[in-house]
C-alpha cells in the first residue's frame, strides 16, 4: 500500500481546483493547526461524513523493561488522540478489503 504525503495532497488538490500549491498548502496547514489546537484544549473535532477526533486518557500502568524483565517500569497516564471514522469513510474503506487481500496475495 502506498503512503500519501501532505505534499502529494497539496499537488492533487491544486491540480483539481486551480488554486496555487501555496494557497492549498496554507489551507491544509491552517486546518491541521486548528484541529491540533482544539484537541490540545481538550475539545473534540467533528467533521460530518469524515469522522471525529477526541482526546482520551490512558490509565497509568506498570510495564516491563524488555532488556531486564525483572524490573517494573511505571507508565504514567497520558492524553492520546482517538479517531472515529464517519459512516461514509467506514463504507468506502470497508469496500477496499478485496483490493487489500489481492495485494497481499490472500
State mean pLDDT over 88-97. 89
The Cα diameter of the chain in Å comes to 61
Q: Whole-number mean pLDDT of the chain?
A: 92
Confidence of residue 78 (pLDDT cuts 50, 70, 90): very high
Looking at domain 44-106, its CATH architecture is Irregular (4.10)
Domain boundaries, the chain: 1-41, 44-106
Cα separation, 42 vs 35, in Å, equals 11
Q: What is the pTM of this model?
A: 0.76
State mean pLDDT over 40-44. 96
For the purposes of burial, counting CB atoms within 10 Å of the CB of 15, is it exposed (0-12), middle (13-18) or buried (19 or more)?
exposed
Residues 73-100, buried b or exposed e (16+ Cβ, 10 A)? eeeeeeeeeeeeeeeeeeeeeeeeeeee
State mean pLDDT over 48-73. 92
Confidence of residue 105 (pLDDT cuts 50, 70, 90): low
Amino acid at each position: 500500500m502506498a503512503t500519501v504525503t501532505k505534499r502529494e495532497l497539496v499537488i492533487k488538490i491544486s491540480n483539481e481546483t486551480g488554486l496555487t500549491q501555496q494557497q492549498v498548502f496554507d489551507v491544509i496547514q491552517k486546518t491541521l493547526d486548528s484541529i491540533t489546537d482544539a484537541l490540545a484544549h481538550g475539545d473534540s473535532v467533528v467533521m460530518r461524513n469524515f469522522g471525529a477526533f477526541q482526546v482520551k486518557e490512558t490509565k497509568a500502568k506498570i510495564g516491563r523493561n524488555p532488556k531486564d524483565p525483572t524490573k517494573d517500569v511505571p507508565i504514567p497516564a497520558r492524553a492520546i488522540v482517538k479517531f472515529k471514522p464517519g459512516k461514509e469513510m467506514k463504507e468506502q474503506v470497508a469496500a477496499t478489503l478485496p483490493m487489500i487481500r489481492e495485494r497481499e496475495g490472500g
